[in-house]
Amino acid sequence: MTDTMAWDTYSQKKPARRETNAAGETTWFNWTQYPDHGPGAEVIGAGPGVSVLELGCGKGGNLAHVAALGARAVGVDLSAAQLDAARERWDGPELHQREAIDYLAGCGERFDAVYSVFGAVWFTDPDALLPAVRDRLSPGGIFAFSQRPPIEGCYGCQASYINRHDDPEPLVVKRWDHTPETWAERLRANGFTDVTAEVVPAPEGDRRTGTLLVRAARCSGDRG
Ligand SMILES: C[S@@+](CC[C@H](N)C(=O)[O-])C[C@H]1O[C@@H](n2cnc3c(N)ncnc32)[C@H](O)[C@@H]1O
């Protein structure tokens, strides 16, 4: 079973995004696992004239909002099933079925922002991913991602389980969990600056885990 097949399986059980959010909007940006919660697209500065790449865009809900804000919105995902669902629902984004590092290495384009919401950044070895993202960002460009915070003491490469309807054995993909402090160190070591890495708390009164949200900029003097 390849990661692509695992994510196609995930796609079958992942429900489509709602038609509208609590504010009645048809597109919106959500960094967290909770509806109508947390910051929005201002984190990446999406707007007219800005080029934005999402790594692991899935069914494309966040990317559709980036496109609706007037930005060039490019999405990459391993899973054909996820991208089929995105194409069926949204017109705006440009979508590619590719592995994230593969795409970054071959696209030959610079982006003003690269982001990932519980997406490929979580499921790719940061030693390979962080330099690949830096190389595709314009000087001063923004890199941001969200994922679940690590379980205390469980750091580095971890197993992530994808359950199947018809089989008690889950599928397994790798993910990389680090503390906010470790993400900040790694980003600085890879040529990023202005790093913030923090846990956005779950909605008030909800005792579940928060969301790790990391944001950094490519050094503006770094024109390599
Ligand atoms: C948990 S889903 C999140 C999807 C979407 N960002 C969202 O918020 O709904 C993870 C997505 O990342 C994609 N993915 C995982 N590893 C990837 C990789 N190395 N390259 C490209 N896409 C990847 C999967 O196919 C899947 O669509």
Model confidence pLDDT, tens digit, residues 89-137: 999 999 999 999 999 999 999 999 999 999 999 999 999 999 999 999 9
**Quick one: pLDDT at residue 167?**
81
Q: Output the CA 107–ligand 1 centroid distance in Å.
A: 18
Residue nearest to atom 16 of ligand 1 (CA): 120
Helices (H) and strands (E) in the chain, counts: 6, 9
Q: How far apart are alpha carbons 73 and 136 in whole angstroms? A: 15
What's the CATH superfamily of 3-14+26-218?
A: Vaccinia Virus protein VP39 (3.40.50.150)
Q: Which long-range contacts (CB under 8 A, 24 or more apart) does 26-32 make?
A: 27/61, 27/64, 27/65, 27/68, 28/61, 28/65, 29/62, 29/65, 29/66, 30/61, 30/62, 30/117, 31/117, 31/146, 31/200, 31/211, 31/213, 32/146, 32/200, 32/202, 32/210, 32/211, 32/213
Per residue in 147-176, pLDDT tens?
999 999 999 999 999 988 778 889 999 999
CB of 119 closer than 6 A to ligand 1? yes
Q: Output the CA 7–ligand 1 centroid distance in Å.
A: 7
**Quick one: pLDDT at residue 221?**
80
What is the domain partition of the chain in residue ranges? 3-14+26-218
pLDDT above 70: residue 11: yes
End-to-end CA distance of the chain: 38
Asked whether 55 and 117 are in contact (CB, 8 A), the reply is no
Q: Please report where in the chains the tokens 């059980």 appear, as a residue.
A: 13
Asked whether 158 and 176 are in contact (CB, 8 A), the reply is yes
Describe the crossing of helices 61-68 and 80-89 by its angle, rounded to 10 degrees. Answer: 40
pLDDT above 70: residue 1: no
Beta bridge pairs of residue 156: 177
Per residue in 56-102, pLDDT tens?
999 999 999 999 999 999 999 999 999 999 999 999 999 999 999 99
DSSP state of 120: T
Q: Please report where in the chains the tokens 């079925």 appear, as a residue.
A: 97
pLDDT above 90: residue 31: yes
Per residue in 178-220, pLDDT tens?
999 999 999 999 999 999 999 999 999 999 999 999 999 998 8
Which of 11, 77, 147 to probe ligand 1 with, by most ligand atoms within 8 A of CB? Answer: 77
- Closest alpha carbon to 64 in 78, 49, 83, 79: 83
Q: Output the CA 126–ligand 1 centroid distance in Å.
A: 15
Q: How far apart are alpha carbons 123 and 100 in whole angstroms? A: 10
